[in-house]
Amino acid sequence: MKQAKQDYLEKARALSEEMRERLLSRMKGKLPKRLDKEKISIEEALALQMELEDEQLEEWRRSVRAIREQSSEK
């Protein structure tokens, strides 16, 4: 698995306790397992989760944009 980028690590450190809990609750896949086995720190896990969610959001935006373009062509 990849390393967390520095800017995401800084964002993770600045999160409130409530936001940390929300982000941790959305983790799935290999990330929680790595955290449980203490292979990564909480800050690294949070940073990786934020990065993943940003990538998913961008992908969703591209899909919506494509759908809107197709519907406007009709």
Q: What is the pLDDT of residue 1?
A: 64
In a domain, 62, yes or no: yes
In a domain, 17, yes or no: yes
Q: Does residue 5 register a pLDDT over 80?
A: yes
With a CB cutoff of 8 Å and minimum separation 6, the contacts of 27 are 35, 45, 49
Q: What is the pLDDT of residue 3?
A: 85
Q: What is the pLDDT of residue 49?
A: 95
Q: How many domains does the chain have?
A: 1
Predicted TM-score (pTM) of the model is 0.83
In a domain, 1, yes or no: no
d(Cα 51, Cα 3) in Å, to the nearest integer?
A: 11
- Please give the C-alpha separations between residue 48 and each of 28, 31, 73, in angstroms, as whole numbers: 11, 8, 38
Domain that holds residue 16: 6-73
